[in-house]
């Protein structure tokens, strides 16, 4: 099976590319390198000993996307490409809505015109909002998002559901078989491939916890600011479901296989089902790197929810997937990547 990945050189995309190549699939990567590096593609090829067909293009560039899809005619598309910085999305909502929603509409239009029908979508647990108490299950109603980035995921899910329903009813000419859509709601992807060759390479000051801790550990930053210790949790800090990025990548392999074997639409949580607090992550990372991580307690961050973790039973039942790697392996692999590549993919 040939699978095209938009954003295939990015953090989750690159790990998924490696997992797909390892599982024996042909991979085509489409990436505009706006938040990723061609070096990641070279490393993926080195790691797997396999060639990757690479196209430098923005997933919202309809003429280019159509030409690439027509040439490659992939059996499935996994759509990762998108802007993803929560804080930036508050400052640049128009760019976030334009870019993220355009990519999905463009892909759907091109797929319809070419009769391609399998789509796996990178969604986020952020769509649950604050309306529910964890563990979150897929049938819970979607909540209210706290930022434009979250809303772009929420809206893209809705677009996919509406397009799938219309294709199912035969209302859209182009799709001879109904669209097969799998939407994956990620919890907190962290860590890196065990080789330390590929990993997360944030530009500028990291927004997310694990890359920030990693940069403190390697001496690039003085200390972590813990965003609030007055939450109603055992140690007062927020709890999240941290999932090893290779577990997540393997979840995509299963999702692509599921989309190939079923028609219809399904949504799956991809999480470990186990919550850890910010301070527990700091402690686990200091064990992995062998020294203390300096931190200071700061104010709460606007938009943070206290608790978020998955009920991942549905993915286990229908995809035969569950997270296998624990917090020690997460921190070990994150440290390996960071210590071997203090400047990420740069020199
Ligand atoms: C956020 C987004 C999520 C997105 C993810 C990856 C929301 C509600 N969540 O998740 O949609 O997919 O980023 O981009 O929009 N923390 C600190 N100090 C730091 C950084 C983080 O204490 O310097 C804490 C946060 O308060 C939080 C935890 O660490 O409790 C995890 O934060 P982060 O890694 O940013 O992920 P989320 O906010 O859970």
Spatial CA neighbour of 119 closest among 159, 148, 149? 159
Question: Residue 98 — very low, low, confident or very high, per pLDDT cuts 50/70/90?
Answer: very high
Average pLDDT, the chain: 96
Ligand 1 atom, smallest distance to 226 CA: 22
pLDDT at 175: 83
pLDDT at 343: 92
147-176: average pLDDT: 93
Q: Helix 11-22 and helix 38-48: axis angle, to 10°?
A: 20
Residue with CA at minimum distance from ligand 1 atom 3:
126
CB 158 within 8 A of CB 104: no
Structure tokens at 69: 């899809």
Q: Is 238 a residue whose pLDDT tops 70?
A: yes
Length of the chain: 347
Spatial CA neighbour of 248 closest among 1, 10, 2? 10
pLDDT at 173: 81
Distance (Å) of CA 16 to CA 8, 244, 288, 346: 8, 12, 24, 21
What is the chain's alpha carbon radius of gyration, rounded to the nearest angstrom? Answer: 19
Q: Which residues surround ligand 1 with Cβ inside 6 Å?
A: 84, 86, 124, 126, 146-147, 150, 188, 207-209, 212, 224-227, 238, 240, 278, 301, 303-305
First to last CA, the chain: 36
Provide CB contacts within 8 A for 139, sequence distance 6+.
none
pTM over the 0.85 mark: yes
Strands (E), 125-259: 180-186, 188-190, 224-227, 239-240, 242-244
pLDDT at 131: 83
Ligand 1 atom, smallest distance to 238 CA: 30
Provide CB contacts within 8 A for 204, sequence distance 6+.
none
Q: Is 130 a residue whose pLDDT tops 90?
A: no
Residue with CA at minimum distance from ligand 1 atom 31:
209
- Annotated active-site residue 149? The verdict is yes
CB 325 within 8 A of CB 242: no
6-14: average pLDDT: 98
339: exposed, middle or buried (Cβ count in 10 Å: 0-12, 13-18, 19+): middle
Marked catalytic residue, from 149, 186, 231, 242: 149
Rounded Cα distance between 276 and 170, Å, is 46
Question: Residue 261 — very low, low, confident or very high, per pLDDT cuts 50/70/90?
Answer: very high
Distance from the alpha carbon of residue 260 to the mean position of ligand 1, in angstroms: 33
Rounded Cα distance between 56 and 58, Å, is 7
Q: Select the more confidently predicted residue: 104 or 172.
A: 104
pLDDT at 126: 95
Residue 33 backbone zone (phi > 0: left; psi -120 to 50: alpha; other: beta):
left
Distance from the alpha carbon of residue 227 to the mean position of ligand 1, in angstroms: 10
340-344: average pLDDT: 95
Ligand 1 atom, smallest distance to 210 CA: 34
Question: Residue 192 — very low, low, confident or very high, per pLDDT cuts 50/70/90?
Answer: very high
Residue with CA at minimum distance from ligand 1 atom 20:
209
Provide CB contacts within 8 A for 35, sequence distance 6+.
10, 83, 84, 203
Tell me the backbone φ, ψ of residue 80, rounded to 5 degrees: -100, -30
DSSP code, position 326: -
pLDDT at 171: 87
- Residue of 90, 125, 188 best suited for mutating to test ligand 1, as the one with most atoms within 8 Å of CB: 188
pLDDT at 58: 98
Q: Is 146 a residue whose pLDDT tops 70?
A: yes
Question: Residue 342 — very low, low, confident or very high, per pLDDT cuts 50/70/90?
Answer: very high
Rounded Cα distance between 128 and 72, Å, is 35
Q: What is the pLDDT of residues 37-85, one digit of tens each?
A: 999 999 999 999 999 999 999 999 999 999 999 999 999 999 999 999 9
Distance from the alpha carbon of residue 70 to the mean position of ligand 1, in angstroms: 38
Ligand 1 atom, smallest distance to 303 CA: 8
């Amino acid at each position: 099976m040939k699978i095209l990945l938009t954003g295939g050189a990015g953090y989750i995309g690159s790990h998924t590319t490696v997992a797909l190549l390892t599982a024996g699939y042909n991979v085509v990567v489409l990436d505009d390198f706006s938040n990723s590096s061609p070096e990641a593609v070279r490393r993926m090829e080195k790691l797997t000993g396999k060639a990757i067909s690479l196209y430098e293009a923005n997933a919202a560039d309809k003429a280019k996307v159509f030409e690439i899809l027509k040439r490659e005619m992939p059996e499935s598309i996994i759509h990762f490409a998108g802007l993803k910085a929560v804080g930036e999305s508050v400052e640049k909502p128009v760019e976030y809505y334009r870019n993220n929603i355009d990519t999905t509409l463009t892909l759907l239009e091109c797929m319809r015109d070419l009769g391609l029908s399998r789509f796996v979508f990178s969604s986020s647990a952020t769509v649950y909002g604050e309306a529910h108490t964890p563990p979150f299950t897929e049938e819970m109603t979607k909540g209210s998002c706290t930022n434009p980035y979250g809303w772009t995921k929420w809206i893209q899910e809705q677009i996919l559901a509406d397009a799938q329903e219309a294709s199912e009813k035969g209302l859209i000419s182009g799709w001879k078989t109904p669209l097969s859509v799998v939407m994956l709601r990620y919890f907190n992807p962290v860590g890196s491939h065990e080789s330390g060759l590929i990993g997360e390479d944030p530009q500028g000051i990291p927004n997310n916890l694990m890359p920030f801790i990693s940069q403190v550990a390697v001496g690039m930053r003085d200390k972590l600011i813990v965003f609030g210790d007055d939450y109603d949790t055992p140690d007062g800090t927020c709890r999240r479901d941290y999932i090893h990025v290779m577990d997540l990548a393997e979840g995509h392999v299963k999702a692509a296989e599921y989309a190939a074997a079923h028609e219809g639409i399904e949504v799956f949580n991809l999480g470990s089902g186990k919550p850890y607090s910010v301070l527990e992550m700091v402690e686990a990372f200091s064990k992995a790197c062998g020294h203390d991580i300096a931190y200071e307690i700061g104010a709460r961050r606007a938009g943070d929810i206290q608790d978020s973790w998955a009920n991942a039973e549905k993915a286990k039942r229908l995809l035969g997937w569950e997270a296998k790697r624990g917090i020690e392996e997460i921190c070990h692999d994150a440290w390996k990547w960071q210590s071997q590549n203090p400047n990420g993919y740069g020199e």
